[in-house]
């Protein structure tokens, strides 16, 4: 457990956790191992857990057309994914496959509910941290939409600033 706690302290999501909150959360995690190229889940699959990469790397991809997949992200140690399905049980929004042999920590809905019941402070810290991440991602995607719109306008030759 000590090595797990040491690692979890480096996960951006848990940097503001008190020691007792981190310990409570660690008890709700379970380990998952993947072999290189092993599929964790496909876009559209049901899901109710999020994952933190402990060792190795996984690729997040999305179907573009037919069998063509576009890699969206490479998730490395101390980063996480899958939190939307954990919170609302929504189908997976992308496919995740191990790029290398990988070890993941998983938090499923049952583990989260146990955390809420046994340590509400740790659960509150977890939800607060997730909200911060969601806000950061929303700001980034808003910026990306603005950039894509500007690029599209420039590519079509429309000069909106001259009006």
Q: What is the pLDDT of residue 159?
A: 57
Partner residues linked to 97 by β-bridges: 39, 59
Q: What is the pLDDT of residue 158?
A: 66
Give me the mean pLDDT over the 40-46 stretch: 95
* SS3 of the chain: helix, strand, coil, percent, to 5: 45, 25, 25
Note if the pTM is more than 0.85.
Answer: no
Could you give the C-alpha distances from 34 to 56, 110, 114, in angstroms and in order? 9, 22, 26
Express each pLDDT in 61-101 by its tens digit: 998 887 778 898 999 999 999 998 898 888 999 999 999 99
Q: What is the pLDDT of residue 138?
A: 82
Q: What is the pLDDT of residue 137?
A: 77
Does pLDDT of 34 surpass 70? yes
Contact (Cβ atoms closer than 8 angstroms) between residue 38 and residue 104: no
- The overall longest dimension of the chain from CA atoms, in Å, is 63
Domain layout of the chain by residue ranges: 2-155
Architecture of the structural domain at 2-155 = Sandwich (2.60)
């Amino acid at each position: 457990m000590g090595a797990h706690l040491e690692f979890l302290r480096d996960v951006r999501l848990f940097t503001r956790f008190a020691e007792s909150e981190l310990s409570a959360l660690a008890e709700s995690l379970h380990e998952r191992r993947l072999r290189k190229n092993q599929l964790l889940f496909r876009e559209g699959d049901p899901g109710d857990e999020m994952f933190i990469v402990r060792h190795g790397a996984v690729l997040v991809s999305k179907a573009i057309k037919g069998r063509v997949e576009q890699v969206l992200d490479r998730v490395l140690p101390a980063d996480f994914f899958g939190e939307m399905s954990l919170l609302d049980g929504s189908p997976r929004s992308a496919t995740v496959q191990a790029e290398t042999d990988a070890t993941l920590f998983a938090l499923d809905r049952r583990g989260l509910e146990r955390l809420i019941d046994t340590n509400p402070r740790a659960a509150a810290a977890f939800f607060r941290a997730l909200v911060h991440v969601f806000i950061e991602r929303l700001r980034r995607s808003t910026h990306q939409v603005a950039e894509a719109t500007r690029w599209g306008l420039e590519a079509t030759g429309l000069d909106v600033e001259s009006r």
